[in-house]
Amino acid sequence: MDADVLFSPFQLGDLKLPNRIVMAPLTRSRATKGTNAPNDLNAEYYRQRASAGLIISEATQISQEGQGYIWTPGIYSEEQIEGWKKVTGAIHAEGGLIFIQLWHVGRVSHSSLQPGGGQPVAPSAITAKTQTFTENGRVDVSAPRALRLDEIPRIVADYRKAAANAKRAGFDGVEIHSANGYLLDQFLKDGSNKRTDAYGGSVENRIRLTVEVADAILGVWDKSRVGIRLSPVSPANDAIDSSPEKVFFPLVEALSARGLAYIHVIEGATGGPRDNRPFDFAGLRKAFSGAYIANNAYTRELAIETLRAGRADLIAFGKLFISNPDLVERLREDAPLNAPHQETFYGGDETGYTDYPALGEA
């Protein structure tokens, strides 16, 4: 199979990516305990993977309220900004590019992670049927409270401040996390959003917060440096919609009108079947004027086939980047791949993080 298309350059706004391979956001829960600031180990992990055409950072909370898992990094304190400078500096020294993924988990949290031990926030007071990680291991998420209407501007302001902090930290751009059942996705989907005010009910109302967040970030970053992640049919973290095409097409059209650089789309169930529910992903691509990053269970062969057929512009790989720091070279050579060790995915030290061998070391 002619693999050249996978390694051809791509112009993403004003950035020239050296290949079509994107490192997907990967939560690894190895930020500094106590501050949730990135550290030298994190910088080395990302540096090893800088040959990706574009790295999208692990999901990064915009505030303490936005945190849902133990030891995930933030971008709201000075220590966190300084920590991220180590990461962006290491990647740029290797000639790489990195966008930060900005995250608010909403109801997918636990009171032990919240300011003052309070309740997580959500569009509606509906507990998600899912679990999270705390100091005590895996636990059920806490019951959330519904955000008051007067609190929503604060959420938007937190996104804007985080975007400004990301610029200070040296990132090349921003990805809005509006997928996988986290806060913005909770507002989009009618299974988790039962509001009757301006942020609930109609499709126009349910997409409102995501569009407002995009507008706030576009006040800080040029549109060519802003993307968004979406998961229209993924049931991750118990976020379900009865008619996803009726929600996600208007959302993507609104974002396209604003000139966002890309949509990063999880096709199917996150980390699961690609065909869990029917959805017109090809139509979604056509509804958007920018680049389309395809994600979910892509192999080398499926990536090449998808790019050659014009169904995507870029392909995001997740777990394969965990275990293959030189994934780009391995895909180019069609070389064997290291298998990831799931028991070291979350938390810990360099084991299963920075110690996977490169091709020449294997």
Catalytic residues: 182
Supply 133's token pair. 């990680």
Task: Report the distance separating Cα 131 and Cα 67, nearest Å.
Answer: 14
Supply 123's token pair. 């569009």
Task: Report the distance separating Cα 110 and Cα 44, nearest Å.
Answer: 30
How many C-beta atoms lie closer than 10 Å to residue 79's C-beta?
15
> By the 8 A CB rule, do 181 and 108 touch?
yes
Long-range contacts, 183-187 (Cβ 8 Å, 24+): 183/66, 183/104, 183/105, 183/106, 183/107, 183/121, 183/122, 183/123, 183/155, 184/104, 184/106, 184/209, 184/210, 184/213, 185/231, 185/239, 186/106, 186/107, 186/122, 186/123, 186/239, 187/123
Task: Report the distance separating Cα 286 and Cα 190, nearest Å.
Answer: 25
> By the 8 A CB rule, do 102 and 76 touch?
no
Task: Report the distance separating Cα 213 and Cα 159, nearest Å.
Answer: 7
Q: What is the DSSP pairing of strand 15-17 with strand 10-12?
A: antiparallel
Supply 334's token pair. 């069609």
